[in-house]
Structure 1
């Protein structure tokens, strides 16, 4: 049999049949959202079911769920269930090379980003998708062909048997190395601009085990960072008391994954740069030697659409590095915006997809740029005294004039109604203003004095006045 059996259609069966390629968090959430709109959805995943087979080991970064992601989950009533498996992180805890610790709040006392396991949230969302009568999930189905004229797809299942599937709409939610996107690029008559750029750094997952009583060895409600300028180690808490750690290091070069190729070199590296962390890490040297580092890449592509019926979403459209914790949040926001456009354009998909691309492309480019920049802040500047002073001045001024100044991190992370493109533009202006403030004589001694904030207010009013209305929306 070469086609898929369908569940009983609802009274919305007149609506388009939709295929989503990629059952990661974004694809699974999109399936739930579209099913709730009355669409019949087939969700395809090339890998086995992670609830039965561990497909993530050594290959995942814990994810930081913030307000944009929560807003999308709330839109379909999934936020409470996801929150039960998430841990709020209210601050960064910085561990310097001497073992000294400093804390940097992410925002106000109640503001947090939330640590979630990639596999955990993915499995929760797949469970929820399977509860929707309009959703069929197909694991071990690898896309091999896609006819862009009639949206017919050919898959190979785990037994290498061909399966043919017909649909009205196709979404590529299949990640940074999307097969849907690659097939789009091969179309001879489409003018598709595309780039995939690898960062100098790669990453590797390490771990910190829980204490014997199940408690955390480090402060639980924090993201821990060991910044070392050109490289860094981070740790995010898990609900079982463990931490998922990620080492970001140059892929090649004098000090890199490539050069650390013996047990003696790796041991010396960890003891020299992460001596304090060694008391917590579980077999980091053996882990390092047994694993292959994974790449970090940036994806830009335009257009995201073909024939008003095939579209990219999530990392397939805008893969970014993880240094702003926005990859999944941006993908979830894609889903929410798309869902809202379904209603706005009354289920007319040519209009929906055109508006979706117009809305999301520029914002995707903006957060890719912001995420790339944030590596420097996390690995280097976050331990710099003048940088920390800069943040203190911004935080104080924000309390004094919350409508005039929202720090860039708060715009990106805690302000889901501010588009990424606006955050980037306003953040660049704020950067120039703060550069001028930091040149004031003896700013280290006088930073709490009134004249500093009078000048800051004058500069902000002068340079940000035309941005305020958009920021406040």
Structure 2
């Protein structure tokens, strides 16, 4: 008898995984606590635009959605940094200036993945049903016994209710003191973009960073990353307007509904979730954590969705390698993915510091220019961390080691070059002194 498979959560990862499993001939039921977002609409102010890059596109290609996603995306070839008191400067992501990350609407991509899952034979979507646990081989739907299940895949996010119901899972939730709030820069009166749409815009202000990503309707979604107390400190529209005119003067005038957005939109939390194990026998079913439920990361490397998509592809691959044995496949999935997700979690935190503190520094820009020069001169042999993360599918866990090896080789080459130069100078000096001596 084939296993009865349930997925908790119809977000990005849940829908992709359901489609992959359905294409294997596995019957899957997806349970989602919200109403169908294609009908009810997206939750306001909690999207954080997706920056989909090579890993996410490779996963979408597996279910035939890559071309559609790219067609509905806006490529961003670099960062446009807006320093305090200075002119904006563009910093390309790649040495050849050709590669780009893609600004994609989370709600629109979720809708496309819901359509793909719904049209896959064997996949059933059930909305308004929140999976809160497993007992006696049955799902608990809002605490009440529901449908039977043999395999349950928790794709229900960083605050997973299903994960919380499981015994024996160590879960560390590391919250930043920062929260986030979304604002909007609408199109200009002439219907054009108010900012350069080919860039991810950053206003690096230390603890008060803001970013902006372009949308297809020619608006920008701006996201404030501030300590939570700073949001509450601006208690009146006048204080909000004055703060933006002081700290973000080049964009404050582009937000006609700034004070309204600031008042209406909620403040979200930023959390890194680390769990172990990801797989448990619980309540008569085999339960596995997937995506943010297993390893939520902060959004500063744009890898949250990309990383979760890789989980789904890995589960599909492990089922192939184990002949469809769920117990062996999920154990293999955890062993392979856990080291990678630990590494990208740390890199995402480090990139927060880079975005808020380093990108406006002249020293940082010189370093970036030097890296790009090395990438052009040593194509394929020297690749920056950013390019390895965003423009390749090299496993995250291999990237730090590769960077260390590259730096050691460069250091050795630089030392050898310096030694050769010093040796040549000494030889030249000896020769000069020799020519200057009187003859016998």
Q: TM-score, normalised by structure 2?
A: 0.89
Separation (CA, whole Å) in 1 of partners of 2:359 and 2:173: 28
The alpha carbon displacement at 1:360 in A equals 0.5
The alpha carbon displacement at 1:169 in A equals 0.8
Which residue of structure 1 aligns with residue 427 of structure 2? none
Q: Is the 8 A contact 1:48 1:55 kept in 2?
A: no
1:322 corresponds to 2:299 = yes
Distance 1:138 1:274, change over 3 A: same
Q: Is the 8 A contact 2:280 2:287 kept in 1?
A: yes
What are the superposed Cα offsets for residues 178-227 of structure 1, whole Å, 9 maximum, x if unpaired?
0111011xx2xx3x221101101100000111234543111112111111
Which residue of structure 2 aligns with residue 458 of structure 1? none
Considering fraction of residues, name the structure with more helix. Answer: 2
1:280 corresponds to 2:262 = no
Which residue of structure 1 aligns with residue 140 of structure 2? 154
Which residue of structure 2 aligns with residue 103 of structure 1? 90
Which residue of structure 1 aligns with residue 315 of structure 2? 338
Distance 1:98 1:453, change over 3 A: farther
Separation (CA, whole Å) in 2 of partners of 1:263 and 1:410: 41
Separation (CA, whole Å) in 1 of partners of 2:85 and 2:221: 22
The alpha carbon displacement at 1:451 in A equals 6.6
Q: Is the 8 A contact 1:320 1:327 kept in 2?
A: yes
Distance 1:432 1:226, change over 3 A: farther
The alpha carbon displacement at 1:76 in A equals 2.1
Greater Cα radius of gyration, structure 1 or 2: 2
1:240 alignment partner, SS class: coil
1:139 corresponds to 2:121 = no
Separation (CA, whole Å) in 2 of partners of 1:67 and 1:215: 28
Residue of 392, 415, 422 corresponding to 1:415 = 392
Q: TM-score, normalised by structure 1?
A: 0.83
Q: Is the 8 A contact 2:156 2:293 kept in 1?
A: yes
| Bigger RCO (CA 8 Å, 6+ sep) | 2
Q: Is the 8 A contact 2:12 2:113 kept in 1?
A: yes
1:402 corresponds to 2:379 = yes
Q: How many positions carry a matched residue from both structures? A: 414
Distance 1:295 1:19, change over 3 A: same
Question: For residues 111-130 of structure 1, what are the structure 2 equivalents within 5 Å?
Answer: 111-130=99-118
Q: Is the 8 A contact 2:133 2:161 kept in 1?
A: no
Residue of 16, 20, 35 corresponding to 1:29 = 16
What 5-or-longer segments of structure 1 have no aligned partner?
1-13, 438-449, 456-473
Separation (CA, whole Å) in 2 of partners of 1:141 and 1:215: 42
Separation (CA, whole Å) in 2 of partners of 1:315 and 1:173: 7
What are the superposed Cα offsets for residues 295-325 of structure 1, whole Å, 9 maximum, x if unpaired?
1001000000002821000000000100000
1:176 corresponds to 2:162 = no
Separation (CA, whole Å) in 1 of partners of 2:400 and 2:294: 19
The alpha carbon displacement at 1:398 in A equals 1.6
1:383 alignment partner, SS class: coil
What 5-or-longer segments of structure 2 have no aligned partner?
419-440
